[in-house]
Structure 1
Amino acid sequence: MQRGGVSSAPVLDLGRYLGTPLQRVEVAGLVLTESTYAPGVRLPSHLHRHAGFRLTLEGGFMDVVEGRARECVARSVAFHAPGLEHAQRIRDVRTRTFNIDFSEASWRSRSALAGRLDPRADLASARLVALAARVYQEFRRADDVAALAIEGLTLELLAEAVRASAPDAGGAPAWLGRVRELLDAVRGPPPTLAALAREAGVSPRRLGRAFRQAWRCSPAEYLRRSRLERAGRALRETERPLGDIALDAGYCDQSHLTREFRRRLHLTPAEYRRLAGRASGSTR
Structure 2
Amino acid sequence: MNERKVDCECHRPRDLALGEFYGDVVRTHASPQFVLSEIHHPRGRVLPTHAHQAGYFSLLVEGHYAETYDGRRHEYDPLTVWWHRPGVIHDDTVGHSGGRFFNVELTREGTDVLAEAGPARRDFHEQGTKVVWLACRLLRELRHWRPCSTLIAENLALEMAGCALHHPERPEPQPAWLDRVVQKLHDEPNRRHYTAALAREAGVHPVYLASVFRRIHRQTIGEYLRILRIRRATNLLRHADMPLAQVAVMLGFADQAHFTRIFSDVVGMTPSVFRRLWHPRQTAEP
Q: 1:161: Cα distance to partner?
A: 4.0
Mapped partners of 1:59, 1:166: distance in 2: 31
Find the counterpart in structure 2 of residue 109 from structure 1. 113
Question: Does the CA contact (< 8 Å) of 1:118 and 1:166 recur in 2?
Answer: no
Closer/same/farther in 2, CA of residues 78 and 60 from structure 1, 3 Å limit: same
Structure 2 residue runs of 5 or longer lacking an equivalent are 1-11, 177-202, 219-286
Aligned to 1:145: 148
> 1:88 corresponds to which residue?
92
CA deviation profile, 1:87-131 (whole Å, cap 9, x unmatched): 111112231001111111221122134623221x33234321111
Shift in Å at residue 202 of structure 1?
7.2
Alignment CA distance shift 1:139-1:209 (3 Å): same
| Structure 2: distance between partners of 1:210 and 1:63 | 34
> Per the alignment, in what secondary structure is the counterpart of residue 91 of structure 1?
strand
The structure-2 alpha-carbon separation of the partners of 1:159 and 1:29, relative to structure 1 and needing over 3 Å to count, comes to closer
Q: Among the aligned pairs, what percent are the same residue?
A: 24
Structure 2: how far apart are the matches of 1:58 and 1:211? 35
Alpha-carbon separation, structure 1, partners of 2:141 and 2:118: 23
Match of 2:158 among 150, 155, 159: 155
Q: Is the Cα contact below 8 Å between 2:114 and 2:162 reproduced in 1?
A: no
Which deviates more, 53-62 or 30-39?
30-39
Shift in alpha-carbon separation, 1:161–1:82, aligned structure 2, 3 A = closer
Task: Give the RMSD, CA atoms, in angstroms.
Answer: 3.4
Deviation at 1:166, TM superposition (A): 5.0
Structure 2 CA distance for aligned equivalents of residues 114 and 21 of structure 1: 31
Q: Contact 1:50–1:83 at 8 Å: present in 2 too?
A: yes
> Which one-letter code corresponds to 2:109 in the other structure?
A
The code of the aligned residue for 1:136 comes to: L
Segments ≥4 residues shifted beyond 3 Å = 165-170, 176-179, 208-212
Q: Does the CA-based 8 Å contact 1:30-1:103 persist in structure 2?
A: yes
Q: 2:47, 2:90 → 1: CA distance? A: 9
> 1-side partners of 2:15 and 2:31: how far apart?
22
Q: What does the per-residue CA deviation read over 1:207-250, in whole Å, with 9 as the maximum and x for residues that have no partner?
A: x9589739xxxxxxxxxxxxxxxxxxxxxxxxxxxxxxxxxxxx
In the alignment, the residues of structure 2 paired with residue 125 and residue 169 of structure 1 have an alpha-carbon distance, to the nearest angstrom, of 21
Greater relative contact order (Cα < 8 A, sep 6+) = 1
> TM-score under structure 2 normalisation?
0.55
Matching of residues 1-284 of structure 1 within 5 Å: 9-113=13-117, 115-119=119-123, 121-162=124-165, 166=167, 169-170=170-171, 172=172, 176=173, 209=213, 213=217
